A and B are shown apart, each in its own frame.
Chain A
Amino acid sequence: MLLDLFLDSNILINHFCEADKYLCSSQLIDKVENGDYIAWVSDFVYSEALGELKNRLEKRKGLKVSKGEVISKTELERMIETIETFKKTRHLNSTSVSLNQTMIYDRVKTLCIQAKDAPIVMCVEELEQKLKKNVYLVTADMDTLFFKAKRLVKTLHPSFHMEKCTSLCPSYFSCDWKNHFTNFEKKNHYLI
């Protein structure tokens, strides 16, 4: 049975901007495209990814604080177009969930996560409820979301599909995941 994965925005960003740096994220997207997994992405994750792309482009233009319109309409349209193209990836489902403020407050209080991460956890919960099977939240946010969300949903690092992290990966020595767990059986624990 194929695993259902919910992708966090950092996976999309790694794929969009740092595919050469984070091999695990880009290879995961390739595997989704090949039909090894079923991926779910929500509309607010796309919005977050768009915001991050915009920030990166502004920084690239040497601006710490955006004053006025520094990104042309064409550049913005190209960013939106890219995200729209990404939605056409095979075996990737774009979904939308209904949210309310009380539920967001509740998740923030329960998990002590950032408010922007609460809809992600809620979306995974809703998908699990509706699909009646496990949905794994895949996130590279090792500082907060990965560990904190684990109390409500199952979380995975984007490298879970790899047998072993390769030293050829440019982020091999700086990767948080590698620093947290050197024994790869530990991460497979979440799949059982």
Chain B
Amino acid sequence: MSFLSAISEMKLDQNLFMKLEIPNVLGKIFSAFKQLFDTIATIAHRLSNIEKLGIEENWAYETDPITGISILKVEKDPMAVKKTRNALKNLFQ
């Protein structure tokens, strides 16, 4: 049973219901709420990313005195390639 037929069974004036544009107004209210929640989610996500970027201490480049090239100083890991492959295999599974 549709919402409109339920209204008519209640012997309400359907024209009046449409005239008041209640479905339209309800739609707008829901849409406004959805936008609000989307905005809150986006802000929360961005804030979490800012926090993430803020703790990137590894991004420290040192300039080689002879060549003048900036090289990222990071501790090498002999298992790095293997770890990378496994991590992405799991992620894309």
Which A residues lie at the B interface, using CB under 8 A? 15-17, 19, 29-30, 33, 43, 53, 56-57, 60, 68-69, 73, 75, 77-82, 84-90, 93-97, 127, 130-131
Contact = CB atoms under 8 A, between A and B. Distances in A.
Contacts of A75: 91
B11 interface: no
B32 to A, nearest CB: 17
Interface stretch (B2-10, B12-20, B21-29, B61-69): B61-69
B72 A77 contact: no
Contacts of A82: 84, 87-88, 91
Contact of A68 (B38, B70, B72, B85): B38
A165 B88 CA distance: 26
Contact of B48 (A19, A73, A87, A90): A73
Contact of A131 (B58, B69, B88): B69
Main secondary structure of the interface of A (DSSP, over half): helix
B67 A95 contact: no
Contacts of B71: 93-95
Given A69-B42, A93-B72, 19 more contacts: A15-B85, A17-B88, A33-B81, A68-B38, A68-B41, A69-B45, A73-B48, A75-B91, A78-B91, A79-B91, A85-B83, A85-B87, A88-B75, A93-B71, A95-B61, A95-B69, A97-B70, A130-B69, A131-B67
Contact of B87 (A73, A78, A90, A97): A78
Contacts of A84: 58
B11 to A, nearest CB: 43
B91 A57 contact: yes
Contacts of A85: 77, 80, 83-84, 87
